Chain A
Amino acid sequence: MIANILLVAKREFRQVTATKSFWLTLLLVPIALAIGPLVGDKLQDDTATKVMIVDQTGGGVARTIEDSFTINEDRALLVRLSRYVQRHDFDKADPQAVWAQHDRWYTNADVASFRAAGGLKAALAKIDTVRPEGVPAFDAPTPDYSFLPPPAGLTEAPADTIGTQAKQLTQAKGGDDKKAAADIVLLIGKGFPQDPTVSLWSNDRPRSSFVIQLQQVLTQAMRGSLLQQQGVSPQAAVAIETAAPAIAVSTPPPGGGAREAMLVRSIVPLALAYILMMSLMLSGSWMLQGSVEERSNKLLESVLACISPEELMYGKLLGALTIGLSMVAVWLGCAAFAAYATHGAIADMIRPALAPLTSPGAIIALIYFFAMGYLAISIIFVAIGAMSDSMREAQGYLMPVMLAVLLPITMLIQAVLAGNNGIMVQVLTWVPLWTPFAVLARLGIGIETWELIGSGVVLAIFVALEVVFLGRLFRASLLAQGQKLGLKQIVGRLKAAPR
């Protein structure tokens, strides 16, 4: 029996691997995954928003706004640099540097100190002295905003013509240079701050963070002016306006934060659930084509004269499982090669992601649920193949099955990514059709041992029942060609049909 099952499995495997679609799919997936981030980077708009401030008060307000935004940009840069230094333990490059102090929210004074020490360029020069080969260089973020001077004469122009010109400046030009001169034009009127009206023209809805910060700066300016009118000295007014608490910040090292850690730990389990889903859909459709071909080519009788329907079914399942595992092996091999080719940079990043899979129990659970998931869904494909005389007929059965399997899984992956371990995830864990996906996805965020064992037992029982009932359906359908198949007939075949 085993020899016949292996022969059928080998033939199924060879038939699928002889098709062009198999090799295209096998290679396209890693290529798409490799190209995806690159294309994403290209498509990402990383140019700074161009801001033009028309300050009719003499230029002081425009400078204040610009200073405020550049300080915030440098603060964000400092935070990112600090996380990079902490992740790679580069504090020793300059333990006194502000970027080597990770336990507080950087104040304006810290930013000023960073600038005074030579800014990013000087910091990277120091870091490079301790950065070993293979560790990626610091990737500095692009500033969100760049500030441009207004065209000559615009500041002095009458208020009613400034609006027209501002609209023209924010409109995209024709010809080769299609970009607008400015994304945002801001008009600070002569009467500011007594007249608080500030006009803004934008070629798109301005980011709320921009508007909030702008409002904050202008509010400070207005309040400072009011304080001075009340007799408070300019220095005191500035001190009052810029008074802020010193917030000490304590965070786990990069990759160790609760949500971040959960996401990192979920990467590999979620990827496995996704790979299971993809490889099942692909190998399932090939297996279906093979089964339909056997029926439409009328060669089943020849095969069944040599082997039993059970041997044929088990051989097909084993063939499908081998195809799926081969695809997964190739994809994982590509990932390993990518990790090696990037001098361990990827490996360094995914090391925390592999943490959930370090125990033998987790590895056994992973293999068990992956293989059982494959069997549970593949049996359905095999049964559909046995019932269908043509691919068109097979698609009719396949569509509802695919929807039933895939829709909850996409919701499940989103729920796990959002850190949601709620009722839907719990329910999907115990419904055998989705158990493998739910358990694989949850291995990262944590699953109770009793749930793991319980759902594994339920899944095993489900697969056993599938083998019995869908095995009957398979056997009864094999030679029943050209018969109209309704629900009654399917139920009839699911029962213990005599041969």
Chain B
Amino acid sequence: MAVLEVDALTKRFDEVVAVDNLSFAVQPGEIFGFLGGNGAGKTTTLRMVLDIIRPTSGRISVLGAAPDRRQAAAIGFLPEERGLYDNMTAIDTIVYFARLKQMDGGEARKHGMELLERFDLASRAKSKIGEMSKGMAQKVQLATALVNHPQLLMLDEPFSGLDPVNQGLLEEEILRASKRGAAVIFSTHVMQHAERLCDRLLLLRKGAKRFEGTLDEARAELPAAIEAIAKEDIIRVAGIASAEPKEQLDGEWRRWSIRLDPGVSAGEVLERCTTSGVALRRFEEQRANLHDVFVQLVGGEENR
């Protein structure tokens, strides 16, 4: 059973459609990337999953039931805008949020201390949040999301504002949660994190889904480009849509930028070159990265 299922979800704010007929599902143990530009509807969607705001139409199922605060015990959430009570100590903050999620006080304190230990903050457990650096406070807030061993972990722009060391720590926590079977859904602007972590991705543009699938499937959305060093006879190989000479090398050899016909793979073209005796000094497939896919599918987005 999917931990989170969203079906034909729509949210309107007056005339603005923030989320438009969105459907997706996240399975246990899966790391699901929620990508989109500013105002794409990511935060609105997460707020609807948390029952902070209600959808205009559509259906959400969290652990098989409609969103409700009673499911808070199974959910961990790290909002995009971080903040904690300045006057509370780190451990009291973690225990407070754990208890709001129906966790036993003693258990919350024990696991809270374990998390602080892991985040190298055990010595600051009784320090007030207001006395901590921003990075430390962010780790405490991450601990409030993890303390209840959530089955659904939702992280809204979790890497923003973190230094590289803490980004690595967060990646470890995401992988750790996934390994113990939690469904992890996070939104981000940083494509490298999504490429490294996500099993599947969803790209949003103006509230509507533009893509859902694996990283490879995302890359396949853009036609592959090939850089080859060959003689002029390469342009006659079947499956090549266009070949543009880039540089004249010695003799008849040239550097070519080649685009393939839709549905034709680089491997097929290489095979045809070999069988038809087209000489090659270099044949390199340049696959689109997630950044290119993002720019292609989501680019040009206007802020809401």
Q: Is B75 an interface residue (CB 8 A)?
A: yes
B96 near A305: Cβ-Cβ < 8 Å: no
Q: Roughly how many angstroms separate A306 CA and B85 CA in the complex, as a whole number?
A: 15
Q: Roughly how many angstroms separate A15 CA and B92 CA in the complex, as a whole number?
A: 12
> Would you call the interface of chain B mostly helix, strand, loop, or mixed?
loop
Q: Roughly how many angstroms separate A303 CA and B145 CA in the complex, as a whole number?
A: 11
Q: Is B45 an interface residue (CB 8 A)?
A: no
B85 near A301: Cβ-Cβ < 8 Å: no
Q: Roughly how many angstroms separate A7 CA and B96 CA in the complex, as a whole number?
A: 8
Render A11-52 as a binary contact track against B, CB cut-off 8 A, 1 for contact.
100010010000000000000000000000000000000000
Residue of B nearest to A312 (CB): B100
A297 near B84: Cβ-Cβ < 8 Å: yes
Q: Is B69 an interface residue (CB 8 A)?
A: yes
A11 near B96: Cβ-Cβ < 8 Å: yes
Q: Roughly how many angstroms separate A440 CA and B52 CA in the complex, as a whole number?
A: 41
CB distance from A476 to the nearest CB of B (A): 10
B97 near A302: Cβ-Cβ < 8 Å: yes
Q: Is A4 an interface residue (CB 8 A)?
A: yes
Q: Is B151 an interface residue (CB 8 A)?
A: no
Q: Roughly how many angstroms separate A303 CA and B100 CA in the complex, as a whole number?
A: 8
Q: Roughly how many angstroms separate A297 CA and B128 CA in the complex, as a whole number?
A: 14
**What residues of A have a CB within 8 angstroms of the CB of B47 in the complex?**
301, 479
Q: Is B53 an interface residue (CB 8 A)?
A: yes
A299 near B72: Cβ-Cβ < 8 Å: no
| Chain A residues numbered 463-499 whose CB sits less than 8 Å from any CB in chain B | 479, 498-499
Partner of B83, one of A3, A11, A299, A307: A299
Q: Is A104 an interface residue (CB 8 A)?
A: no
Partner of A499, one of B52, B84, B101, B144: B52
A302 near B87: Cβ-Cβ < 8 Å: no
Partner of B99, one of A7, A18, A479, A499: A7
Q: Is B50 an interface residue (CB 8 A)?
A: yes
Q: Is B141 an interface residue (CB 8 A)?
A: yes
| Chain A residues numbered 154-204 whose CB sits less than 8 Å from any CB in chain B | none
Partner of A302, one of B53, B99, B144: B144
Partner of A18, one of B56, B82, B87, B97: B87
A498 near B52: Cβ-Cβ < 8 Å: no
Q: Is A364 an interface residue (CB 8 A)?
A: no
Render B64-98 as a binary contact track against A, CB cut-off 8 A, 1 for contact.
00000100100101010111111110000000110
Q: Roughly how many angstroms separate A11 CA and B87 CA in the complex, as a whole number?
A: 11
Q: Is A349 an interface residue (CB 8 A)?
A: no
Q: Roughly how many angstroms separate A7 CA and B93 CA in the complex, as a whole number?
A: 12
Q: Is B54 an interface residue (CB 8 A)?
A: yes
Residue of A nearest to B96 (CB): A11
B81 near A305: Cβ-Cβ < 8 Å: no
A306 near B81: Cβ-Cβ < 8 Å: no
Residue of B nearest to A290 (CB): B85
Q: Is A326 an interface residue (CB 8 A)?
A: no
| Chain B residues numbered 1-29 whose CB sits less than 8 Å from any CB in chain A | none
List A residues at the B interface (Cβ < 8 Å): 3-4, 7, 11, 15, 18, 293-294, 297-299, 301-308, 311, 479, 498-499
List B residues at the A interface (Cβ < 8 Å): 47, 50, 52-54, 56, 69, 72, 75, 77, 79, 81-88, 96-97, 99-102, 141, 144
What are 27 A-B pairs with beta-carbon distances under 8 A?
A3-B102, A7-B96, A11-B85, A11-B88, A15-B87, A293-B85, A301-B52, A302-B77, A302-B84, A302-B97, A302-B141, A302-B144, A304-B50, A304-B52, A305-B52, A305-B72, A305-B77, A306-B97, A306-B100, A306-B101, A307-B72, A308-B69, A311-B69, A479-B47, A479-B52, A498-B54, A499-B53
